[in-house]
Amino acid sequence: MNTTLAELATLTGGTLENANPDLPISGAAAVTDATGDQVTFFGNARYLPALKQSKAAAAFVPLDFAEQIGPALIRVANPSLAFAQAVERFAPEAIVHAPGVHPTAVVGPDVTLGEGVSIQPYAVIERGAAIGAGSVIGAYVFIGQESKVGQQCHLHPHVTVRERTILGSRVIIHSGTVVGSDGFGYEFSEGRHVKIPQIGCVQIDDDVEIGANVTIDRARFGRTWIQEGTKIDNLVQIAHNVVVGKHSIIVSQAGISGSSKLGQYVTLAGQVGIVGHIEIGDRAIVGAQSGVSKNIPAGETWFGYPAGPIRETKERLAYIGRLEKLYARVRKLEQVLDAKGIS
Amino acid sequence: MNTTLAELATLTGGTLENANPDLPISGAAAVTDATGDQVTFFGNARYLPALKQSKAAAAFVPLDFAEQIGPALIRVANPSLAFAQAVERFAPEAIVHAPGVHPTAVVGPDVTLGEGVSIQPYAVIERGAAIGAGSVIGAYVFIGQESKVGQQCHLHPHVTVRERTILGSRVIIHSGTVVGSDGFGYEFSEGRHVKIPQIGCVQIDDDVEIGANVTIDRARFGRTWIQEGTKIDNLVQIAHNVVVGKHSIIVSQAGISGSSKLGQYVTLAGQVGIVGHIEIGDRAIVGAQSGVSKNIPAGETWFGYPAGPIRETKERLAYIGRLEKLYARVRKLEQVLDAKGIS
Amino acid sequence: MNTTLAELATLTGGTLENANPDLPISGAAAVTDATGDQVTFFGNARYLPALKQSKAAAAFVPLDFAEQIGPALIRVANPSLAFAQAVERFAPEAIVHAPGVHPTAVVGPDVTLGEGVSIQPYAVIERGAAIGAGSVIGAYVFIGQESKVGQQCHLHPHVTVRERTILGSRVIIHSGTVVGSDGFGYEFSEGRHVKIPQIGCVQIDDDVEIGANVTIDRARFGRTWIQEGTKIDNLVQIAHNVVVGKHSIIVSQAGISGSSKLGQYVTLAGQVGIVGHIEIGDRAIVGAQSGVSKNIPAGETWFGYPAGPIRETKERLAYIGRLEKLYARVRKLEQVLDAKGIS
C-alpha cells in the first residue's frame, strides 16, 4: 500500500515543492501524530504552530500558503479534500457485504427485494416491505410492515425502521437509530395523559445520512420529513411532524420539537434545542447549546440561551463581562456626590 | 375509508355550520397542508392566519369560536381531541401482532407467558421472567432474568429490559430503550474509580409510556421508580434511585441525576438537567434547557441556567436586555459631573 | 441471607456502638427508606436531618462522627464503601453467564474465542474478530470484522462494536451503545455535503466502563481513544478523533466534539458540551450544562454558558443578581442631579 510523494501529488492534482519525489510514504496522519513517512495537511489556522514542528514528510497546503514549515509542501486547491484522498489511498480494505439473504433473516410475505441486496444475519423484514437494489440491511435491522427502502442504502446493525416509513436512495443510517417511533402526544383528560394516536409516517429523502442512536418520530398525521442531502449526527432528536429542508446539518445531541420546520442549508450546532411550531429560515446557523423559541429569518446566525442574533448575544455577553467595572463606576459617582454633599 | 362532513360531526359530537353535510371527505391534515377534501382543526392561536387561508373543507373549532375563516366550521368542546378522532377514522389499518411465540424466540426455563401474548422474532426471555396476558414483545426485545412484564404491555423492537425489572400493565416502551442498566457509581480509591455494585432494580408502574433510546438505570439498592401514568419522551436519562411521581411529563433529552425525586404531575421540558439528590414538588414545571440545582416547591414554574422561579429569571433577562441603555445613562452621569467640574 | 449487626461490623472493619450486636439485620437501604431491621449510612450532609429520624437499626458513619442520631453507629473509615459492602452482602444471587457459545450465535470464519467466553443468544461475531478469555458477549451483541475484545470484558445485550475496534480487558459496555460508527465529516462541494471516509478506528483501554446508548465514533484516520480506567455515563457523545485521558469521568448526556483532547482525571458533569479541537487539562472539572469553547488549563474548575473559570462565572452571576439594585442606584443618581439642576 506504500506510495511516494510524487504519486500522492499526482493523485490529488497538487504540486510538490522542495522534496524528494521518490520518498516512500506509508500513511496519512494528523499534524501532531504524523511521522517521517506520513503526509499531513493544513486545515485549520489553530494548528499552524503544530504544523511548523510536524515531523510529517509533507503537508497538503492551500495554493497561496506562505508559511515556513517543517514538512515539504504539496500545494492543492482544497487541502482537506486532498488529505481525504490520501487517507483513502492508505485505507484498509473496505468492509464488503456480499449480496444475498442470510439464512437467519426473517423475511415476511409480500416483501420485495431488489437486485444485489445484502440482508445480514437476524434482519427482520416484515410483511409488504420493499428493499431497493444494492442496499445493505445490517444485522438485527428491523424493517416494519410496508416500509420502503430505496436503492444503495446502508442500514448498519441494530437500526429500527418502524412501519410505513419511506427511505430514498443512498440513505445511510448508523447503528441504534430508531425511525418511526410514536410522536410524543397526549391529551390531558380527567387527571391522566391520554395517548393521541400517531398514525403518520416518516419520509427520508435521497442522500440523507443519519448517525447512531438518533430518534426520528413518526408524524401524528401526515409525515415527519427529512429532505434530500441532509446530514444528522448522533443522538439527535427529531419530533413528530418536523420538516428538515435539503442539505442541512444537525450536529450531535440537538433536538427539534414537534412541527417545527427548518429550511435548506440550515446548520444546528451541537446540543441546540428548537421549540415546537417555529420556522428556521434557509441557511440559518444556530450556535452550540442555543435555545431557540422564535422564528429565525433566512441567512441569520443566532446564538445563546435564550437565542438571539449572534451580534446581539455577543454584545449582551460583553456588557455582562464589564459589569464589575460598571458597579465601580456607579460607586464612584455615589462617592463623588456624597463628598460634595449632593444627595 | 371516505366519509362526509355530517358523519364527522356525528363522530365527534360537533355541530356543522354553513356547509354541505354530504361533502365527501377523504382525510385529515394540518392547517397548512389540508386540501379541499380534508378536515383540519384550530388548536393554536399561532395558526389562525394560516387557518383563514386554509383550503380544508372544514375545521374543528371551539364552541365560542368567532373568527371568519375559509373552511366550514364544526364546533366541538375540544377541537384537538375531535381532530384526533377524525385522524383515527382515516387511519391506515392498525399493525396487528398475532398471538403466539415466534419459532426464533429464545424462551428460558421457568418463564411464564400469559394468555394471548405475542412474542416476535428473535425475542430473548431469560430464566424466571414473566409476561402478562395480551402483551406484545417485539423483535429483538431482551427480557432479563426474573423480570416481570404486566398485561397489555407493548415493547417495541430492540428494547432491553435487564434482570429483575418490574413493569406494570399497559406499559409502552419504544425501540432502543434500555431499562435496568447499571447506575453510574464509583468509589475513588488509590487513583482509580472502583465500581459500586448496582443491585437494586427498576419499577415502572401502570400506563407509563417511554420513548425511544431512553436510558433508565437500576438502583444502587432499592429501586428506580417511574410511577403510574407518567410519559417519557425520547433520549431521556433517568439515573439510579430516581423517583418520578404519577402522571408526570419528561420531554426529550432531559436528564435526572441520581436519587432526585419528582412529585406528581411534574413537567420537565426538553433538555432540562436536574442535579442529584433534590426534590421537585408536585405540579412543578421546568422550562426547556434549564439547569436545576435546588429543590423546586410544589406548583412553581422555574426556568433558566441556573434555574430559578420564572418571574425572577424573566426579570433578570429584562435587566440584561437593557444594559446598553444603562451603560449610556452612567456615561451621561459621568459626563455631566465632568462638565460641571464635579469629581 | 440475614446477618447481625456484629457480623456487619466485622465485614466492614467497623466498630459498633451502643447496640445489641446480635440484632438480626435483613437488608440495607437509604436513610429515608430503611426499616428497623436494615442498615443505612451517612454519606451526604444533606441527609443528616433525615438520618436523625431514620428508623434504620444502625448507620455506617465516619470515625469522627459526633451527631446524635436515631440508629446505632458503626464507625468506619469510609461509610459509603462500608455500605456498599453491606449492600453486596444482601444482594440477590448474581446473574451468571455460563461459558459456551449459544447455538444461535453467528460466528464468522477466523474468529478467535478465548477460554471460558460466554457468547449469548443471537450474538454476531464477524470474520477475523477475537474475544479474550472470560469475556461475556451478551444477546444481540454485534462484533464487526477484525475487532478485538480483551479478557474479562462484559458487553451487555444490544451493544454494537463496528469493525476494527480495539477493546482492552475488563471493559464493560452497557446496552444500546454503539462503538465505531462513522465520524460526522463532510466536504461541502457544489451545493452538497460529500461524505469524508472515516477509516480510522476506536481504541478503548483496560477497565473502561461505558453506559447505555452511548455513541463513540471511529476516527477519520488514526483513532478515537478512551484511555484506561475512564468511566462514561449513559447517552454521551464522543466524536471522531477525540482522546479521553485515563481515569476521567464523563457524566450523562455530555458531548465531546471532534479532535478534542481530555487529560487524565478530568470530570465533565452532565450535559456539558465541548467544542472541537480544544484541550481540557488534567484534573479539570467542568460544571453541568457548561458550553466549553476554549482550552481549560490543568486543575481548573470551569462552569457556565459560555464556560469560564468557576470563580469568574459565579462573580458574573452575582453581578447579574444585583442588577435590580444597580438600576435603582443609577435612577437615584439621576434624580439627585435632576433635583439639584445638574444636567
Q: For residue C247, give the H/E element and its range.
A: none
Whether B133 is covered by a domain: the verdict is yes
Whether A329 is covered by a domain: the verdict is no
Rg (alpha carbons) of chain C, rounded to whole number? 27
Angle between helices C5-12 and C79-89 (to 10 degrees): 120
Whether B214 is covered by a domain: the verdict is yes
- The DSSP-derived string for B63-107 is TT-----SSEEEEES-HHHHHHHHHHHTPPPPP---SEE-TT-EE
Q: Which residues of B touch C81 (CB under 8 A)?
A: 187, 189
CB contact C65 to A (< 8 Å): no
Strand C3-4 to strand C24-25: parallel, antiparallel, or no bridges (unpaired)? antiparallel
Q: Who's near A339: CB < 8 A, 6+ residues apart?
A: none
Cα(B62)–Cα(B74) distance, rounded to whole angstroms?
Answer: 8
Query: Could you tell me if C46 and C108 lie in one domain?
Result: no
CB contact B277 to C (< 8 Å): yes
Query: Could you tell me if A195 and A302 lie in one domain?
Result: yes
Structural domain tally of chain A?
2
Query: Could you tell me if C84 and C108 lie in one domain?
Result: no
Whether B340 is covered by a domain: the verdict is no
pLDDT score for C149 = 98
Counting one residue from chain A and one from chain B, the pairs whose CB atoms sit within 8 A come to 175
Q: Which of residues 214-273 of C touch A (CB under 8 A)?
A: 214-215, 217, 220-222, 235, 237, 239, 241, 253, 255, 257, 259, 271, 273
Q: Who's near B96: CB < 8 A, 6+ residues apart?
A: none
Q: How many CB atoms lie within 10 A of CB A298?
A: 14
The identity of residue B177, as a single letter, is T
Q: Which residues of B touch C227 (CB under 8 A)?
A: none
Q: Is A269 helix (H, G, I), strand (E, B) or coil?
A: coil
Query: Could you tell me if C7 and C151 lie in one domain?
Result: no
Q: Is C328 helix (H, G, I), strand (E, B) or coil?
A: helix
Read off the C-alpha cell for C191: 451545493
DSSP 8-state secondary structure symbol assigned to residue C245: -
Instruction: Provide the CA B274 distance to its chain's centre, in angstroms.
Output: 16
The identity of residue B209, as a single letter, is E
Cβ-contact A263, A281 below 8 angstroms: yes
Cα(A158)–Cα(A175) distance, rounded to whole angstroms?
Answer: 5
DSSP 8-state secondary structure symbol assigned to residue C45: G
Q: Who's near A328: CB < 8 A, 6+ residues apart?
A: none
Q: Tell if the CB–CB gap between B140 and A162 is shorter than 8 Å.
A: no
Q: How many CB atoms lie within 10 A of CB C326?
A: 19
The identity of residue B283, as a single letter, is R
Angle between helices A310-321 and B310-321 (to 10 degrees): 90
Cβ-contact A141, A161 below 8 angstroms: yes
Question: Nearest 5°: phi and psi at C35?
Answer: -105, 180
Read off the C-alpha cell for B237: 436519562
**Residue B170 backbone class (left: φ over 0; alpha: ψ -120 to 50; beta: rest):** left
Cα(C81)–Cα(A277) distance, rounded to whole angstroms?
Answer: 50
pLDDT score for C47 = 86
* d(CA A234, nearest CA chain C) in Å: 7
Residue with the three cell numbers 430473548:
B124
CB contact B65 to C (< 8 Å): no
Q: Residue B181: which of C33, C211, C305 has the nearest Cβ?
A: C211
Query: Could you tell me if A69 and A195 lie in one domain?
Result: no
- The DSSP-derived string for A84-136 is HHHHHHTPPPPP---SEE-TT-EE-TT-EE-TT-EE-TT-EE-TT-EE-TT-E
Q: Residue C234: which of B181, B199, B259 has the nearest Cβ?
A: B181
Q: Which residues of A touch B231 (CB under 8 A)?
A: 184, 186, 193
CB contact A170 to C (< 8 Å): no
Query: Could you tell me if B86 and B104 lie in one domain?
Result: no
Cα(A106)–Cα(A146) distance, rounded to whole angstroms?
Answer: 15
Q: Which residues of A touch B45 (CB under 8 A)?
A: none
| Cα distance from N-terminal residue to C-terminal residue, chain C | 85
pLDDT score for B1 = 65
**Which is nearest to B58 in space by CA: B20, B13, B10?**
B20
Q: List the catalytic residue out of C154, C158, C174, C240.
A: C240
- The DSSP-derived string for B166-183 is EE-SS-EE-TT-EEEEPP
What ipTM is given for this predicted complex? 0.91
DSSP 8-state secondary structure symbol assigned to residue A110: T
3-state SS of A152-205?
CCEECCCCEECCCCEECCCCEECCCCEEEECCCCEEEECCEEEECCCCCEEEEC
Strand B267-268 to strand C307-309: parallel, antiparallel, or no bridges (unpaired)? unpaired
Query: Could you tell me if A53 and A129 lie in one domain?
Result: no
Cα(A154)–Cα(A152) distance, rounded to whole angstroms?
Answer: 7
Cβ-contact C167, C161 below 8 angstroms: yes
Strands laid side by side in the B223-226 sheet: B112-113, B130-131, B148-149, B166-167, B201-204, B223-226, B243-244, B261-262, B279-280
Q: What is the CATH number of the domain that holds B47?
A: 3.40.1390.10
Read off the C-alpha cell for C5: 449487626
Q: How many CA atoms lie within 13 A of B176 on its CB side?
A: 40
Dihedral over alpha carbons A295, A298, A302, A305 (to 10 degrees) = 10
Q: Is C38 helix (H, G, I), strand (E, B) or coil?
A: strand
Q: Tell if the CB–CB gap between A233 and C184 is shorter than 8 Å.
A: yes
Handedness of CA A24, A26, A32, A33 (dihedral sign): negative
Strand partners, A203: A166, A225
Q: Which of residues 124-163 of C touch B (CB under 8 A)?
A: 139-140, 156-158
Q: What is the pTM of this model?
A: 0.93
Helices (H), chain A: 5-12, 48-52, 79-89, 310-321, 323-339
Q: Could you list the pLDDT tens digit for every one of the 343 residues in chain C?
A: 689 999 999 999 999 998 899 999 998 888 888 889 999 999 888 889 999 999 999 999 999 999 999 899 999 999 988 998 898 888 888 888 999 999 999 999 999 999 999 999 999 999 999 999 999 999 999 999 999 999 999 999 999 999 999 999 999 999 999 999 999 999 899 999 999 889 899 999 999 999 999 999 999 888 999 999 999 999 999 999 999 999 999 999 999 999 999 999 999 999 999 999 999 999 999 999 999 999 999 999 999 999 999 999 999 999 999 999 999 999 999 999 999 888 7
pLDDT score for B173 = 98
Cα(C175)–Cα(C139) distance, rounded to whole angstroms?
Answer: 10
Q: Which residue of C has its CA nearest to A329?
A: C330
Cα(A173)–Cα(B157) distance, rounded to whole angstroms?
Answer: 17
Among candidate residues C62, C90, C118, the one where a domain is terminated: C90
pLDDT score for B33 = 82
Strand partners, C76: C62
Query: Could you tell me if C185 and C308 lie in one domain?
Result: yes
pLDDT score for A1 = 65
Cα(A221)–Cα(A227) distance, rounded to whole angstroms?
Answer: 18
Query: Could you tell me if B138 and B258 lie in one domain?
Result: yes
Whether B43 is covered by a domain: the verdict is yes
Cβ-contact A104, A46 below 8 angstroms: no
Whether C320 is covered by a domain: the verdict is no
Q: What is the CATH number of the domain that holds C167?
A: 2.160.10.10
Among candidate residues A58, A90, A122, the one where a domain is terminated: A90
pLDDT score for C32 = 82
Q: List the catalytic residue out of A154, A158, A240, A247.
A: A240
Query: Could you tell me if A175 and A58 lie in one domain?
Result: no
* d(CA A251, nearest CA chain C) in Å: 8
Cβ-contact C158, C175 below 8 angstroms: yes
Read off the C-alpha cell for B343: 469629581
What is the domain range of residue C191? 100-312
- The DSSP-derived string for C84-133 is HHHHHHTPPPPP---SEE-TT-EE-TT-EE-TT-EE-TT-EE-TT-EE-T
Helices (H), chain B: 5-12, 48-52, 79-89, 310-321, 323-339
* d(CA A190, nearest CA chain C) in Å: 32
Whether A336 is covered by a domain: the verdict is no
Cβ-contact B59, B69 below 8 angstroms: yes
Instruction: Count the residues in chain A.
Output: 343
Query: Could you tell me if A17 and A73 lie in one domain?
Result: yes
- Intervals of chain A under pLDDT 50: none
pLDDT score for A106 = 98
Q: How many CB atoms lie within 10 A of CB B230?
A: 24
Q: How many CB atoms lie within 10 A of CB B322?
A: 13
Query: Could you tell me if A85 and A147 lie in one domain?
Result: no
Q: Residue C142: which of A46, A139, A289 has the nearest Cβ?
A: A139
Read off the C-alpha cell for C94: 448474581
- Intervals of chain B under pLDDT 70: 1
Instruction: Count the residues in chain B.
Output: 343
Whether A330 is covered by a domain: the verdict is no
pLDDT score for B163 = 98
Chains with 3 or more CB pairs under 8 A to chain C: A, B
